[in-house]
């Protein structure tokens, strides 16, 4: 019995360290994104947050019968997904496409975090994500900077997937999942804005046009929902 307890305690301590590291990383990421220049301090995570956001728009549009034409990512961390219709189930499909940018990444991130409970799944997930980054660069990314950045990210993820340390692979999956969950908070002012520049409309503004409730209501719902999704997925991954 004592041998069993002595084996469990180091594992429990290591789990606590990893959990607190993930929570700390999410807090630091969200906080730095809200200060001037913070997106450049966290530059790699800014770019992957943009990739998650724009890919979610494009893939949901594709799933709803549209054509995902191209994705552009710029060096300042901004991006855009272009698609054409018609879409199935209009205007609900337009709402789903608009909501996919802020909410698709947290849902995908939660899936990564929860799947990390299975040691064998971590390596498979990293390889799939790495190859999908390459695939997206070849098929959809149409800006030079975005293409290079996404290919580099894919190479890094694939490199981690072939590491011998299971602990590193597990933590990498969870860390990427956390970054996907907090991607909603990148440019949070955009989440609580009706417009997106002089000629555009924000995701929450587009939802307001169709579902009538104000954009700030949808922004609040998405911000709170993303946080709850992150908490629930971490609780699942680290439950006894």
pLDDT of the residue at 79: 92
Picking from 52, 38, 46, the residue whose alpha carbon sits closest to that of residue 77 is 46
16-41: pLDDT as tens digits: 888 888 889 899 988 988 888 888 88
pLDDT of the residue at 135: 97
Which pTM was predicted? Answer: 0.87
78-129: pLDDT as tens digits: 899 999 988 999 999 999 999 999 999 999 999 999 988 887 888 899 999 9
Taking each helix axis from N to C terminus, what angle separates 92-115 and 43-63, rounded to the nearest 10 degrees?
A: 130
Q: Which range marks the domain in which residue 66 is found?
A: 2-238
Residue 198: pLDDT band with limits 50, 70, 90? low
Q: How many domains does the chain have?
A: 1
Asked if residue 1 has pLDDT above 60, the reply is no
Share of the chain above pLDDT 70, in %: 93
Count of CB atoms situated within 10 Å of the CB of 14: 11
């Amino acid at each position: 019995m004592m041998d069993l307890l002595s084996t469990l305690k180091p594992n429990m301590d290591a789990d606590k360290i990893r959990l607190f590291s993930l929570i700390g990383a999410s807090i630091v990421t969200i906080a730095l994104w809200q200060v001037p220049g913070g997106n450049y301090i966290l530059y790699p995570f800014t770019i992957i947050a943009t990739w998650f956001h724009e890919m979610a728009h494009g893939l949901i549009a594709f799933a709803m019968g549209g054509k995902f034409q191209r994705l552009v990512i710029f060096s300042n961390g901004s991006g855009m997904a272009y698609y054409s219709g018609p879409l199935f189930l209009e205007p609900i499909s337009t709402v789903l496409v608009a909501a996919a940018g802020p909410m698709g990444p947290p849902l995908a991130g939660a899936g990564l975090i929860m799947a990390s409970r299975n040691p064998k799944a971590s390596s498979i997930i990293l390889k799939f994500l790495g190859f999908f980054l390459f695939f997206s660069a070849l098929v959809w990314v149409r800006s030079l900077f975005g293409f290079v950045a996404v290919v580099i990210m894919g190479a890094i993820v694939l490199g981690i997937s072939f590491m011998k340390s299971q602990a590193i692979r597990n933590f990498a999956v969870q860390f990427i999942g956390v970054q996907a969950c907090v991607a909603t908070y990148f440019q949070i002012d955009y989440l609580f804005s009706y417009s997106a520049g002089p000629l555009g409309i924000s995701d929450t503004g587009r939802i307001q046009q169709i579902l009538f409730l104000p954009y700030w209501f949808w922004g609040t719902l998405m911000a709170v929902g993303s946080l709850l999704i992150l908490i629930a997925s971490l609780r699942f991954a680290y439950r006894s």
